Structure 1
Amino acid sequence: MATFEPWARGAGQTAEEQRLGRLFEAVAEPQALNDAARERVRRRLYARERRKRGLLLVRLVAVGVVIGIACAAAAQWAAQRALGPASRHAHAGAATPRTLSPQPVLPARPAMTATPPASTSSSVEPIERMRPRSPAAASSTLTQSSRLGLEASSLEGALKILRRGEGERALEALDRHLLAFPGGALELEARVARLDAELMLGHRQAARRTLALLPLDRVGRKQELRLIRAELTADDDCRLALTDFQALNEQTLPSAWAERALFGRGACLSKLGDHAGAERDFALYLERFPSGRFAAQLRARH
């Protein structure tokens, strides 16, 4: 049988061999890869190897987690098994305390009482610490968390109404909230929001009563609320309001609050008959706030 060499032509080849020879000749010889192509091949092979390593690492971590959980479960089971005998041993030790040798009586000290053996207490305490929380305690924690979520949702609903400027509806919503969550974790925030609703509606006396019950030192808006309290109190008790105005004027306040505090102190001094003090405050006001909200009113006095 003749040797088949498709890349060579010669006499005596069959038509089929000649056709195959032409086909092989038409195929271009493979060219060597350039540097860029070889680099792409290398990167693909390296990326594939990294993915394999990553999958292997994930599997090892998963196996470690499973082993850790199994060990923890085994330790808890062993602790629960040991709890019964240790507890009985503790009761037996308490029922039959060791006889202590007589000790000298120290002056001005109460008599010493016998204590259970140290070995018994030391064996029981670690087991008590390992005892899992009771279902009742876990349920109590879950109930407190759920109640706080409901309280926060209720207060947020009332605050949305207040932000829309609907004072009456906001006041009703806040009253319902305080009734539903008496002594709640967010009670102080709800009462401050109720004060804002009363001020929005112009209920000055109600706002004054609400302010009197607020612990201002625990409120983030302490300075602002103290200024509001002074202004409300000045309606009928300038002597009491003057204490707040004086304290506020000795602090660094935002411009809008400093303006109100200075004018309020001057107005109260004028009502109490200290006209010289009032004039000093009014002159200082016009100097510091020439375009302030009370400037035109003060200039109209002269």
Structure 2
Amino acid sequence: MSETPIDPQRLVDGLVRLLTVEQKSDFEFTGRPQKDGVGRVFGGQVIAQALQAASATVTDGKEAHSLHAYFLRGGEEGPEIDLRVEADFDGRSFANRRVVASQGGRPILNLTASFQQPEDGLAHDEYEMPDVAAPEDLKSDQEIRRKIVEHAGDRMNEAQKATVTRPRPIDMRTAGRLHWMNSEPSEPVAYTWFRTVAPLPDDPAIHRAIISYASDFTLLGTSALPHGLSWMRGELVGASLDHALWFHREARADEWLLYATDSPWSGGGRGFNRGRIFNRDGQLVASVAQEGMMRKRIKKAD
């Protein structure tokens, strides 16, 4: 029996709905749960929803240029996420917002975002975009996941297989190998193209939210590459601890963006990772940094 075709626009519209928060009062918002979500809430979702809530309270033309977030505890799929915004500062050029994301009265994330009135200024671009294969010449990560599942046999149950191969609203194409693609130790660098699988609205805020969402993909896994271990194979236990993102220039998340990540250090049960996001013109559009908890899973004795 053939599979039912998936409408890409429907997937992307669902992502936009997921990241569009509902306003309850001037500074209180609700983030929707992922439809049919299982387990822990994806950290990038909470970051994006918190940024959207903060952005909704800044109404004088200022745009988000940076965010800093701490993950306090894992969120649960299913319940809504409560987002409380504090307007800490409103100046002529800059504004600052502080957001607490909670479930059941328990904070799961603290985020601070800074906003700036657009202006011209001294400009330079220090980094050149890495010379990697174009996205059109690469297989989709989704296709690679399907092949892994086909050969997994009894090592994965049906629920795990469904989670790994579920249709995604963001197409990701990796030049090289991510931690789940390879068990051999390798250099702690990764290059992945990403874009939504269908067009987005022209609202710049939703593009920033989706870039924030996608910035939590592949990042922590970069610090696992030198060790040849993977969360997907059950060899690691991990969680994001903090996440920082700087927006340098406007970018569309429905056009190909290259996410170049590296990990200069890991130790003490933590891994530190950096990311640079480029557009097709080779311009740096965003920078990312994250530290995460990363421990080798201890197998229980039979």
The interval holding the TM-score normalised by the smaller chain is under 0.3
Bigger strand fraction: 2
Bigger helix fraction: 1
Q: Could you tell me the TM-score, scaled by structure 1's length?
A: 0.19
Higher relative contact order (CA 8 A, sep 6+): 2
Q: Could you tell me the TM-score, scaled by structure 2's length?
A: 0.19
Larger Rg: 1
